[in-house]
């Protein structure tokens, strides 16, 4: 499927599984997971980047060719998210930014209005912006119109591993929004990622499910293969779902009445 590349933010991406870097017990395991998934994009929280560190800088463990998308984790307002993005670029972490603005401490749901404000500002400053948001068609449309590289609706609350609970809303967004739709947060099983790809998502972002699994390396491979399978199914055209049975082979013409 190498010919089916995702072109976004001036980059051509082969692997549609984006992998987060949080919750791994070591940077080495994180690197092994990224390699196993053949990930082309990874997200890193700015607070975990120490460009002045003499050793064990997380960026040193990102495989060559894997694009780093700094996320604004910890931001509670648009202004804080913008400040984090600017710091990231000044620190040499690039201009790919995942906007994550969360003021809700219990459910960790994104603040769509503050996310839109941050996106509008950063797009004007030349950032490639990936806003994480609660599925809402009107907000998604405005994010795309202001220049977001993609729109990233949640599948379920962060770290819940509950799967694609927002399927109907995400499906509507895929139909109505021209920007790529990338489901982020809540996916717990490879089959969840496959489901996202089958309905037409451009990619998925997974972190917790892989990081906390018993075998993160193999689980990353499983997610990567599931994403490929779901994408291929979508491109092939899913079979129609019907209410009544349909025989796969003719039921007449082989036996005659009375034989």
CA angle 51, 111, 83 (to 5 degrees): 30
- Any catalytic annotation for residue 98? yes
Spatial CB neighbours of 12, under 8 Å, sequence gap ≥ 6: 5, 6
16 closest CA partner among 36, 38, 32, 33 = 38
DSSP assignments along 123-182, one per residue: HHTT-EEEEEE---HHHHHHHHHTT-S-BEEBSSSTT-----TTHHHHHHHHHH-SS-BE
Give the number of other Cβ atoms within 10 Å of residue 208's Cβ.
Answer: 18
**Where does residue 144 rank: exposed (0-12), middle (13-18), buried (19+ CB within 10 A)?**
buried
Active site residue: 12, 54, 67, 98, which one? 98
In angstroms, rounded to a whole number, what is the distance separating the alpha carbons of residues 199 and 174?
A: 8
Characterize 223-252 residue by residue with b for buried, 16 or more Cβ atoms within 10 angstroms of its Cβ, and e for exposed: bbebbbbbbebbeeeeeeeeeeeeeeeeee
Kindly list the catalytic residues: 98
């Amino acid at each position: 499927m190498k010919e089916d590349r995702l072109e976004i933010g001036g980059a051509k991406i082969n692997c549609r599984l984006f992998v987060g870097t949080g919750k791994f017990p070591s940077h080495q395991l994180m690197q092994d997971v990224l390699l196993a998934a053949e990930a082309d994009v990874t997200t890193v929280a700015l607070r975990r980047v120490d460009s002045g560190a003499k050793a064990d800088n997380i960026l040193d463990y990102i495989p060559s060719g894997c694009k780093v998308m700094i996320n604004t984790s910890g931001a509670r307002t648009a202004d804080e998210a913008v400040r984090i993005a600017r710091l990231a670029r000044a620190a040499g972490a690039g201009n790919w930014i995942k906007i994550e603005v969360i003021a809700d401490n219990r459910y960790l749901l994104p603040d769509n209005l503050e996310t839109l404000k941050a996106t509008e500002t950063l797009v004007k400053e030349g950032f490639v912006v990936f806003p994480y948001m609660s599925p809402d068609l009107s907000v998604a449309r405005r994010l795309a119109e202001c220049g977001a590289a993609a729109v990233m609706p949640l599948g379920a609350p962060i770290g819940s591993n509950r799967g694609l609970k927002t399927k109907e809303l995400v499906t509507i967004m895929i139909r109505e929004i021209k920007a790529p739709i990338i489901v982020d947060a809540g996916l717990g099983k490879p089959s969840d990622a496959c489901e996202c790809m089958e309905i037409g998502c451009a990619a998925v972002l997974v972190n917790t499910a892989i990081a906390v699994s018993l075998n993160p390396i193999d689980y990353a491979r499983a997610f990567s293969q599931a994403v490929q399978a779901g994408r291929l199914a979508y491109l092939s055209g899913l079979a129609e779902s019907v209410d009544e049975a349909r025989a796969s082979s003719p039921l007449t013409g082989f036996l005659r009445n009375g034989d």
